[in-house]
């Protein structure tokens, strides 16, 4: 895992909607910083004298001149509102190298149908995947189902319209608005919630025969993603064809990963020493019950990687080589990763006295 930091200059800002801006960031001098569509940048923003980190998915594709991230205001949110009000062309923003496992690697030989389900700001990683597929997978088809309040809240509206006109055989964009439109437009829109019934109805019409594979990617509010997942389960879509990115921690306990939590129930979260192996060094860190392993490591001045601090993005991921760790949240990890011993330090607490975690 890369833990490189860069200073990137804001080259331009696009006002996408009344509450969303896109920051176009310059590549630092002569540095090739690779990324895969779907990955995110961690912005490190000084707010009220403190450096605060937030993850923002890249909506650009690697061959574009800038790294572009779109920030949508969250009510009462610290960083999203700070950036909306203060970001300026010419300023420099510290960022961490791109990270994330919610990715789509385009391959020219593929002939697949990608269904992208987005809600609000969740369009950002899907936009990168969509553009990349259109460019590099000429035999593949992309169907984007994009849920928003109304037409005015559609991020990338003009870009999507343009792309659809340029690639009529390859791209289909279906808008779902939960407010009725006063003014009907040429876009294909559906009114209502992007719920299970709507997804089933749409997929019935949008599926096209002749593709080798169908893949489903979703990013948006938790409720919407649960509905999409239910519809796909109903259609018996295999789990390995469904990919999901969460911007916020789930509120429903059953999504917290019963296996991990159950393992923790028998143990106690008390003050324990943890061994952290990172960048060739080994550190002994005392982790108090009210701390996560990440918090204890940072307090001990170890420059550990992290981004969302909510168990979502995997920036802080490590492998537990011995002992057991309780995770408050495991949204970012797959069952296979859990089985292989991967843990998220930002939501991890040692359960045994012999915990050794290797990072990177
Ligand atoms: C992998 C990843 C990629 C992300 N990509 C993007 C992106 O491309 N564009 C983007 O705008 N945001 C994205 N986010 C969300 C972003 O990192 C911040 O969480 C968001 O900007 C809110 O930060 P804040 O400091 O303004 O709010 P905070 O002060 O951290 O939070 C205020 C409150 O808002 C809630 N909240 C946080 N995010 C959301 C949300 N998205 N919707 C509703 N409520 C929320 C929090 O739970 C909290 O209760 C991403 C998050 C992750 C983990
Ligand atoms: S910092 Fe994002 S999962 Fe830990």
For residue 99, the tally of other CB atoms under 10 A from its CB is: 21
Domain at 112-245, CATH class = alpha beta
| 285 pocket-lining for ligand 2 (C-beta < 6 Å) | no
Residue 197, classed as helix, strand or coil, is helix
pLDDT digits (tens, 9 = 90+) for 294-306: 999 999 999 999 9
- Taking 3-state DSSP, the helix, strand and coil percentages for the chain, each rounded to the nearest 5, stand at 25, 35, 40
Average model confidence (pLDDT) across the chain: 91
| pLDDT interval class at 152 (50, 70, 90) | very high
Among 36, 24, 38, 28, which residue's Cα sits nearest to residue 4?
Answer: 28
Has residue 210 got a pLDDT over 60? Answer: yes
Q: What is the mean pLDDT of residues 188-194?
A: 79
Answer whether CATH 2.20.28.10 is correct for domain 5-99: no
Has residue 272 got a pLDDT over 70? Answer: yes
Read out DSSP for 48-104?
TTEEEEEEEEB-S-TTSSEEEEEEE--TT-HHHHHHHHH--TT-EEEEEEEE-S---
Measure 99 CA to ligand 2 centroid, in angstroms.
11
Measure 145 CA to ligand 2 centroid, in angstroms.
28
Nearest ligand 2 atom to alpha carbon 313: 2
pLDDT digits (tens, 9 = 90+) for 65-77: 999 999 999 999 9
Measure 79 CA to ligand 1 centroid, in angstroms.
8
| pLDDT interval class at 153 (50, 70, 90) | very high
344 contact partners, CB below 8 Å, separation of at least 6: 311, 314, 316, 317, 327, 329, 330, 332, 333
| pLDDT interval class at 104 (50, 70, 90) | very high
Nearest ligand 1 atom to alpha carbon 80: 26
pLDDT at residue 181, rounded to an integer: 58
User: Which of 80, 85, 100, 147 has the most ligand 1 atoms within 8 A of CB, as the residue to mutate?
Assistant: 80
Q: CATH topology for 255-359?
A: Ubiquitin-like (UB roll) (3.10.20)
Measure 247 CA to ligand 1 centroid, in angstroms.
6
Nearest ligand 2 atom to alpha carbon 309: 1
Residue 118 in tokens: 């987005």
Domain ranges for the chain, please list them: 5-99, 112-245, 255-359
252 vs 311, residue with greater confidence: 311
Task: Please name the residue ranges forming H helices in the chain.
Answer: 78-86, 123-136, 157-166, 196-206, 222-234, 258-265, 293-299, 335-339
Q: What is the mean pLDDT of residues 340-359?
A: 95
User: Which of 43, 100, 101, 309 has the most ligand 2 atoms within 8 A of CB, as the residue to mutate?
Assistant: 309
pLDDT at residue 262, rounded to an integer: 36
Measure 318 CA to ligand 2 centroid, in angstroms.
10
Which ligand minimizes its atom distance to the CA of 45?
Answer: 1
Measure 316 CA to ligand 2 centroid, in angstroms.
5
Q: Look at the alpha carbons of 25, 28, 30, 32 in this order and tell me if their dihedral is positive or negative.
A: negative
Q: Give the Å distances, CA to CA, from 233 to 128, 197, 209, 226, 227.
A: 26, 13, 20, 10, 10
pLDDT at residue 28, rounded to an integer: 84
184 vs 102, residue with greater confidence: 102
56 contact partners, CB below 8 Å, separation of at least 6: 40, 41, 42, 43, 69, 70, 71, 124
| 314 pocket-lining for ligand 2 (C-beta < 6 Å) | yes
| 346 pocket-lining for ligand 2 (C-beta < 6 Å) | yes
User: Which of 18, 53, 60, 77 has the most ligand 1 atoms within 8 A of CB, as the residue to mutate?
Assistant: 77
Nearest ligand 1 atom to alpha carbon 74: 26
Measure 307 CA to ligand 2 centroid, in angstroms.
5
Measure 59 CA to ligand 2 centroid, in angstroms.
20
């Amino acid at each position: 895992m890369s833990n490189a930091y860069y200073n990137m200059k804001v080259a331009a800002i696009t006002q996408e909607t009344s509450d969303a801006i896109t920051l176009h960031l310059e590549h630092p001098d002569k540095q090739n910083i690779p990324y895969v569509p779907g990955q995110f940048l961690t912005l490190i923003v000084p707010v009220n004298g403190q450096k605060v980190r937030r993850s923002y998915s890249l909506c650009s594709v690697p061959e574009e001149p800038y790294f572009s991230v779109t920030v949508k205001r969250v009510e009462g949110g610290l960083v999203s509102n700070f950036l909306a009000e203060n970001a300026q062309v010419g300023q420099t923003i510290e960022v961490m190298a791109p990270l994330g496992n919610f990715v789509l690697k385009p391959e020219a030989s593929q002939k697949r149908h990608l269904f992208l389900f987005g809600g609000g700001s969740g369009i950002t990683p899907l936009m990168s995947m969509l553009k990349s597929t259109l460019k590099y997978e000429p035999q593949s088809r992309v169907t984007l189902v994009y849920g928003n309040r109304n037409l005015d809240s559609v991020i990338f509206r003009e870009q999507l319209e343009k792309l659809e006109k340029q690639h009529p055989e390859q791209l289909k964009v279906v808008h779902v608005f939960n407010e009725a439109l006063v003014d009907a437009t040429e876009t294909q829109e559906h009114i209502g919630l992007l719920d299970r019934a709507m997804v089933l109805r749409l997929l019935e019409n949008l599926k096209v025969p002749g593709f080798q594979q169908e893949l489903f990617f979703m990013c948006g509010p938790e409720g919407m993603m649960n509905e999409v997942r239910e519809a796909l389960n109903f259609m018996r879509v295999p789990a390995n064809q469904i990919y999901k990115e969460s911007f916020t921690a789930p509120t429903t306990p059953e999504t917290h990963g019963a296996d991990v939590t159950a393992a923790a129930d028998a143990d106690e979260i008390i003050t324990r020493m943890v061994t952290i192996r990172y960048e060739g060094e080994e550190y002994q860190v005392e982790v108090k019950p009210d701390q996560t392993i990440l918090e204890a490591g940072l307090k001990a001045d170890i420059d550990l990687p992290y981004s969302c601090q909510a168990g979502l993005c995997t920036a802080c991921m490590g492998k537990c080589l011995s002992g057991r760790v309780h995770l408050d949240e495991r949204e970012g990890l797959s069952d296979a990763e859990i089985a292989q011993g991967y843990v998220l330090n930002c939501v991890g607490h040692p359960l045994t006295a012999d915990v050794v975690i290797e990072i990177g």
